[in-house]
Chains A and B, each alone.
Chain A
Amino acid sequence: MKHCLVVDDSRVIRKVACRILSDLHFQTGEAEDGVSALAACRAKMPELILLDWSMPNMNGIEFLRTLRREKGGEHPVVLFCTTENDVAHITEAMSAGANETIMKPFDRGIIEAKLAEVGLA
């Protein structure tokens, strides 16, 4: 079973995302900010990370840049979730090292489609 880390400061969103992902046969873990996400990745590198943008204690962009420089940090497929759904934010997420961007709000259909996009469906 593939492991997905859901990184978001909202507990509700983490819960919704985890439910969708376990339905889609992922084993899920949660982190509420970039710092704890980084600790989780160092303990066990997940195959997939669903990553929120704005969080206290290291936002998504900072986390992603740091992750990509870590040993093994190039491996996880990162789906970056943006709230400011404009081209500038999307481009920034992609150039920080995201594999694909999801514009919030998302639903199961969007997550499934994006997983297919990155070859994890």
Chain B
Amino acid sequence: MKPDDFSFLAQLVRRRSGLVLRANKAQFIEGRLTSVLRRFGFRTMSALIHELRHGRETLARAVAEAMTTNESSFFRDRAVFDRFRDVVLPQLLERRKDSKRLRIWSAACAAGQEAYSIAMLLHDHKLVAKGWTVDLIATDISSEIIARAEGGLYTHYEVQRGLAIRRLVAHFTQDGGNWRVHENLRRMVSFRTFNLLDSFGWLDDLDVVFCRNVLLYFDQKTKSSVLEKVADTLVPDGVLVLGHTETPLTPANAFVPVDGTSHIYRHAKAAVQRLAATG
């Protein structure tokens, strides 16, 4: 790829999805573009870039989507999910026992493994049977991956990474060589396509936001702005769950770690309010 084609492409992708493409990955990036190339019937990469420069919307969207990494797994980073299950969720259920409402968002959900993992934990508490209203929202920029997530169909390999066999048997049905999430869990999750760079106006009063393994692809400015928007959507005692390698160091310092947990954070506003109340 010519250097100015590459920088045009990198700019387009960064503007659309926040993802930073590095020049030393050019070959890898071209690899990812070949599926778009084929799908839209281009012969060469430069023909594709040429058309992109002329601003074909569907093509630009497909290119941005093709650049995403959709790697995920059930209960990814087990320790984080264990702490969520053992520390965060019980506290939250206690604090919400009067309102019996819970709103959780999986903010870059890939093929849905994260959302269904959360759904399984909520299912363990039989919340729906106990009269709770549970909103579990799951979004991703890629419409293709959202369609997969809604279908809830996973391969032999996917269901054997992070998922205990008893959970597989309890929540999935065999479908050919694959496994499909049961209808009751699928109904717990509302999937929709959503770009984290867009306005979060439709999202509010969230108790928990899972925003994992996506911020690491963004530059510092984008990361901060997404985190600030996340902070705004959370209720004062809301909780943010990040990926294994991510920290929420924003200039605004909106988050502090939840005691005894790693990668799980509380809104700093609540911590400040607590300090004010006790001091």
Question: Which A positions have Cβ atoms within 8 angstroms of B?
Answer: 85-87, 90-91, 94, 100-103, 105-107, 109-110, 113-114, 116-117
Mask, B142-180, CB within 8 Å of A = 1, is 000000000000001100111011101100001000000
A87 in complex: contacting residue of B78, B160, B174, CB < 8 Å: B174
Q: Is the CB of B156 within 8 A of A85?
A: yes
Q: Is the CB of A90 within 8 A of B164?
A: no
**Bound-complex Cα distance A107 to B163 (A):** 15
Q: Is the CB of B160 within 8 A of A90?
A: no
Q: Is the CB of B165 within 8 A of A90?
A: yes
Q: Is the CB of B160 within 8 A of A102?
A: yes
Q: Is the CB of A109 within 8 A of B157?
A: yes
Closest CB pairs A-B (n = 9) = A101-B165, A110-B160, A113-B161, A117-B164, A87-B169, A100-B165, A90-B169, A113-B162, A90-B165
**Bound-complex Cα distance A16 to B166 (A):** 26
Tell me which residues across on chain A come within 8 A of B78, comparing CB atoms.
Answer: 116
Tell me which residues across on chain A come within 8 A of B174, comparing CB atoms.
Answer: 85-87
Q: Which residue in chain B gives the minimum CB-CB distance to A91?
A: B169
**Bound-complex Cα distance A91 to B84 (A):** 28
Tell me which residues across on chain B come within 8 A of A90, comparing CB atoms.
Answer: 165, 168-169
Question: Which B positions have Cβ atoms within 8 angstroms of A?
Answer: 73, 78, 156-157, 160-162, 164-166, 168-169, 174
Given A87-B174, A105-B156, A113-B73, 16 extra CB contacts under 8 A: A86-B174, A87-B169, A90-B168, A90-B169, A91-B169, A94-B165, A94-B166, A100-B164, A103-B160, A107-B157, A109-B157, A109-B161, A110-B157, A113-B162, A114-B160, A116-B78
Q: Is the CB of B161 within 8 A of A103?
A: no
In the assembled complex, how far is the CB of residue B191 from the closest CB belonging to chain A, in whole angstroms?
25
Q: Which residue in chain B gives the minimum CB-CB distance to A116?
A: B78
In the assembled complex, how far is the CB of residue B244 from the closest CB belonging to chain A, in whole angstroms?
14
In the assembled complex, how far is the CB of residue B160 from the closest CB belonging to chain A, in whole angstroms?
5
**Bound-complex Cα distance A113 to B159 (A):** 10
Tell me which residues across on chain A come within 8 A of B165, comparing CB atoms.
Answer: 90, 94, 100-101
Tell me which residues across on chain B come within 8 A of A116, comparing CB atoms.
Answer: 78, 162
Q: Which residue in chain A gives the minimum CB-CB distance to B78?
A: A116
